[in-house]
């Protein structure tokens, strides 16, 4: 019976992981964690009866203690201890942001199998995470699709990876992007996800982060990773082979599928997600991303190509800018401006250690925060 730890169990991926586990009775929920949503964490403790729960702050432990008789660990240390606990077999990293990096490394260095949703940890510290490539399996739907298309194939026969992108809520929007509201940006056409990734999808930074994620996971140069807008989100990604043939992975638009695949790999189990109804599919369309309107994608390619600490810094600036946008402190079109300016001031170093990554991440956050404060007077929405 594999013991699972879910870091970020109250989020979109975390709750869907628990749903998947409802259909996998052989798996035991050993530990769960939440940042702020203690009410939901409490419900999850009662329903799934984990051995350990982790929350963000010591001051909140008493709130959870009512009717809960398991150990409650706190903060980043608590997450790392749970991720590396001797009884845990599989760790699902469903945290959002670079906060996932240390727990991911803690799990990997303790020899755990890691089902990774948290793309930011690969963006911020890809070379550190990939030292443990044999223990990793992606949850991100595009990378799960690529994983499935590449399974058993000769890497030398692969020409390129093609990541599909829905294009987000503003793909066909012809108006002024600087005036779009937080509410409009949070309405993703196809996926119901956490706030940060939903805004990243609207700016196309999500696809940029995924390009870097694919570079690390599949060891491909940036020239060989393409992005295609496919608004129906039926094809989750494709691999083009040497002779020009393309393998695509298609499935119902539901994150439970890649989550279940990651948990049960190399086996595949029957799940409860309805199969694709081929007779009632919309037309499948493909177009090029517009990097003039959505410059975040180009910024991510640039960060990836330069490498070193630049992706770390880009990711940190993006996290700050997105949070400021959600709090109505920054306009939508100012998100790439903040990221670009922070990137332009950074002198990347190669092959950084974990402590260097964390230091540059912090520095970039401070710089991005200052910029957001300076730009605040010019917010339109």
**Contacting residues toward ligand NAD, per CB under 6 A:** 8-14, 34-37, 94-97, 99, 117-120, 140, 191, 193-194, 196-197, 255
Nearer residue to ligand NAD within complex by CB, 117 or 375: 117
Residues 54, 106: contact at Cβ < 8 Å? no
Query: Distance of CA 218 to CAs 115, 149, 215, Å?
Result: 15, 12, 6
Closer of 255 and 372 to Mg ion (Cβ)? 255
Q: Read off φ and ψ for residue 145, nearest 5 degrees.
A: -65, -45
Residue 10: contacted member of Mg ion, ligand NAD, none (CB under 5 to 8 Å, by partner type): ligand NAD
Q: Does 140 sit near Mg ion (CB under 5 A)?
A: yes
Closest separation in Å from C-beta 214 to ligand NAD: 13
Q: Which two tokens stand for residue 366?
A: 């401070």
Query: Which residue's CB comes closest to Mg ion?
Result: 140
Nearest to 97 by CA among 206, 190, 241, 23: 206
* Residue (93 or 368) nearer to Mg ion, CB: 93
In the complex, least distance from residue 210 CB atom to Mg ion, rounded to whole angstroms: 5
Coil vs helix vs strand at 29: strand
Rounded to a whole number of angstroms, the minimum distance from the CB of residue 128 to ligand NAD is 17
CB of 304 to ligand NAD, least distance (A): 16
Question: What residue 118 binds from Mg ion, ligand NAD, none (CB within 5 to 8 A, per partner kind)?
Answer: ligand NAD
Residues between 221 and 240 with contacts to Mg ion, criterion CB under 5 A: none
- The residues, any chain, with a CB within 8 Å of residue 36's CB and separated by 6 or more, are 56
Would you mind telling me the total number of residues written for the chain in this entry?
Answer: 381
Minimum CB distance to ligand NAD, residue 67 (Å): 20
Q: Which residues make beta-bridge pairs with 158?
A: 241
Query: Which residues lie below 8 Å from residue 25, measured CB to CB, with a gap of 6+?
Result: none
Collapsed DSSP state (helix, strand, coil) of residue 169: coil
Select 44 or 166, whichever has its Cβ closest to Mg ion.
Answer: 166
Residues in 142-161 at the binding interface with Mg ion, rule: CB under 5 A = 142
User: Which residue, 18 or 375, has its beta carbon nearer to ligand NAD?
Assistant: 18
Distances in Å between the alpha carbon of 136 and those of 27, 112, 217? 18, 9, 9
Nearest Cα neighbor of 317 from 337, 288, 298 is 337
Instruction: Say which entry of Mg ion, ligand NAD, none residue 34 contacts (CB below 5 to 8 A, set by partner kind).
Output: ligand NAD
Cβ 230 to Mg ion shortest distance, Å: 12
Position closest to ligand NAD via CB: 11
Q: With respect to ligand NAD, which residue has the nearer C-beta, 57 or 71? A: 57
Q: Decide which of ligand NAD, Mg ion, none touches 99; Cβ closer than 5 to 8 Å per partner kind.
A: ligand NAD
Interaction pattern, residues 87-126, with Mg ion; x per rule: CB under 5 A: ----------------------------------------
C-alpha dist (Å) from residue 314 to 207, 306, 308, 334: 14, 11, 11, 14
Report the partner that residue 47 touches, choosing among ligand NAD, Mg ion, none (CB closer than 5 to 8 A by kind).
none
Residue 148 CB, nearest approach to Mg ion (Å): 14
Shortest separation between residue 32's beta carbon and ligand NAD, angstroms: 9
Shortest distance, position 350 Cβ to ligand NAD, whole Å? 25
3-state secondary structure of 165: strand
CA angle 287, 212, 308 (to 5 degrees): 140
How many residues make contact with Mg ion (CB under 5 A)? 3
What Rg, from alpha-carbon coordinates, does the chain have?
A: 20
Residue among 239, 214, 243, 236 nearest 284 (CA): 236
Integer angstrom CA distances of residue 69 from 37, 40, 53, 72, 80: 18, 16, 10, 9, 21
Site residues (vs Mg ion, CB under 5 A): 140-142
């Amino acid at each position: 019976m594999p013991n699972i730890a879910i870091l970020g169990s109250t989020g979109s991926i975390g709750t869907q992981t628990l749903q998947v586990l409802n259909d996998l009775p052989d798996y035991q929920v050993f530990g769960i964690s939440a940042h702020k949503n203690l009410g939901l964490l409490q419900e999850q403790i009662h329903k799934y009866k984990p051995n350990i729960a982790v929350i963000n702050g010591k001051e909140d432990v008493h709130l959870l203690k009512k009717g809960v008789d398991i150990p409650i660990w706190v903060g980043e240390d608590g997450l790392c201890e749970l991720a590396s606990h001797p009884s845990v077999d599989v760790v699902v990293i469903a945290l959002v942001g670079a906060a996932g990096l240390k727990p991911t490394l803690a799990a990997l260095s303790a020899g755990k199998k890691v089902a990774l949703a948290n793309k930011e940890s690969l963006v911020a510290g890809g070379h550190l995470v990939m030292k443990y490539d044999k223990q990793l399996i992606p949850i991100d739907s595009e990378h799960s699709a690529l994983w499935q298309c590449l399974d058993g194939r000769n890497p030398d026969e692969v020409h390129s990876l093609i990541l599909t992108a829905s294009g987000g809520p503003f793909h066909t929007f012809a108006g002024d992007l600087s005036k779009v509201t937080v509410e409009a940006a949070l309405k993703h056409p196809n996926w119901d996800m956490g706030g940060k990734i939903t805004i990243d999808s609207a700016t196309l930074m999500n696809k940029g982060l995924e390009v870097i994620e694919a570079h690390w996971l599949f060891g491909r140069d940036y020239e060989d990773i393409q992005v295609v807008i496919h608004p129906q989100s039926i094809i989750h990604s494709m691999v083009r082979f040497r002779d020009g043939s393309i393998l695509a992975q298609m499935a119902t638009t539901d994150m439970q599928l890649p989550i279940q695949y990651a948990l049960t790999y190399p086996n595949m189990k029957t799940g409860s997600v309805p199969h694709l109804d081929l007779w009632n599919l919309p037309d499948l369309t493909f177009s090029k991303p517009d990097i003039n309107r959505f410059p975040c994608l180009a910024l991510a390619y640039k960060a990836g190509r330069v490498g070193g600490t630049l992706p770390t810094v880009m990711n940190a600036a993006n996290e700050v800018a997105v949070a400021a946008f959600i709090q109505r402190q920054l306009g939508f079109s100012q998100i790439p401006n903040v990221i670009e300016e922070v990137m332009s001031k950074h002198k990347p170093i190669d092959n950084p250690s974990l402590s260097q990554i964390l230091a540059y991440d912090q520095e970039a956050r401070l710089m991005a925060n200052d910029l957001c404060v300076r730009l605040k007077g010019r917010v339109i929405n």
